Amino acid sequence: MEYILFAIIAYLLGSIPSALVVGKLGYNIDIRKHGSGNLGATNTFRVLGMKAGIIVTLSDILKGTAATLLPLLADADVYRLIIGLFAVLGHTYPIFARFKGGKAVATSAGIILGINPLLFAIMIATFLITLYISKYVSLSSIITGIVTIIVSSLFKDIGLIIVTSILTIFVFYRHKANIKRIKDKTEPKITWM
């Protein structure tokens, strides 16, 4: 019963459409009607700028972190990584935004922050270094996922390895169109780094 309760809470947390909220409240803009139409941090950066992008990124990370910490605070006997996966599902398929959400990167990172802050720090470093070199957010997200799986194996936690693998496969799936655009040399690059 605890799993069901916390899975629902995690899904609802993940379903909070940070980009939509920030766009509408702060800029009177429906982010879904601009840029890629995606309810994620990358589209927010492109459409609304640095400040809004940072707010959305942090909000999306914290959704994943909150989902993994709530069972801990409630002293519930559940495997917190599994609960975190439901936050990612909520972020990607949000009930509050017609089931069309973001690409799961920031919320996935938030799950790891709630479980293993050192691994989270390695993820952030990997992402930023790759982004600096490639200028592709999508490619940086994918490479970060691969590095996360490799580093997870060093912690010798089979559950962590499995969940980071699931998250990385999901990130690959959500970035199929981006991968094609990178191959076709039509994927937009960032200009601020």
Domain-embedded: residue 190: no
| Structural domain boundaries enclosing 169 | 2-183
Rounded Cα–Cα distance for residues 89 and 5 (Å): 15
Total domains in the chain come to 1
Reported as a single tens digit per residue, the pLDDT across 134-150 is 999 999 999 999 999 99
Nearest one of 29, 28, 19 to 59, comparing CA atoms: 19
Task: 127-130: list long-range contacts, CB under 8 Å, 24+ apart.
Answer: none
Please name the residue that has the structure tokens 């690059």: 189
Domain-embedded: residue 98: yes
Q: What is the 3-state secondary structure (H, E, C) of 139-173?
A: HHHHHHHHHHHHHHHHCCCHHHHHHHHHHHHHHHH
**Position 140, amino acid:** S
Domain-embedded: residue 90: yes
Domain-embedded: residue 61: yes
Reported as a single tens digit per residue, the pLDDT across 85-143 is 999 999 999 999 999 999 999 999 999 999 999 999 999 999 999 999 999 999 999 99
Contacts of 139 (CB under 8 A, 6+ apart): 130, 178, 182, 187
Domain-embedded: residue 189: no
Domain-embedded: residue 71: yes
**Is 51 within 8 Å of 78 (Cβ atoms)?**
no
Domain-embedded: residue 193: no
Domain-embedded: residue 31: yes
